[in-house]
Amino acid sequence: MHEVKSYQMFLYRLEDNLSKITSVERRISMKEGNGLNAANEKRLLKELIEKQTLIVRKLIDDLGIQVEDRGDEERNRIAKRILKALS
């Protein structure tokens, strides 16, 4: 039961951060569309993406998903896809 709550918290953090990323992307688009400088928003977006990457990597570690040449191919494929998406 504790593990389920722990993963629910990870999912909440991922969803919350993704919502923030989407909001900042919209602000960047609006500012650039109006010819304004969006440097602060771009910096914030970079920080949010880095935070999202850390959350996902922590989740991968906690789930015990290893990116290896041997072992459970399904888990390896999932982990490789996640890490590729993060880079």
In this prediction, residue 70 carries a pLDDT of 56
Could you give the number of structural domains in the chain?
Answer: 1
In this prediction, residue 35 carries a pLDDT of 95
Distances in Å between the Cα of 71 and the Cα atoms of 55, 65, 76 are 24, 10, 8
In this prediction, residue 21 carries a pLDDT of 92
In this prediction, residue 30 carries a pLDDT of 96
User: Taking the CA of residue 70 as centre, how many other CA atoms within 13 Å lie in the half-sphere pointing to its CB?
Assistant: 0
Which residues span the domain enclosing 63? 2-86
How big is the CA angle at 46 (ends 44 and 50), to the nearest 5 degrees?
A: 115
Per-residue pLDDT of the chain (87 residues; tens, 9 = 90+): 556 667 778 788 888 988 999 999 999 999 999 999 999 999 999 999 988 888 888 877 777 765 555 556 666 666 667 766 665
Looking at residue 2, its amino acid is H
In this prediction, residue 87 carries a pLDDT of 58
In this prediction, residue 38 carries a pLDDT of 95
Whole-number Å distance between alpha carbons of 6 and 59: 10
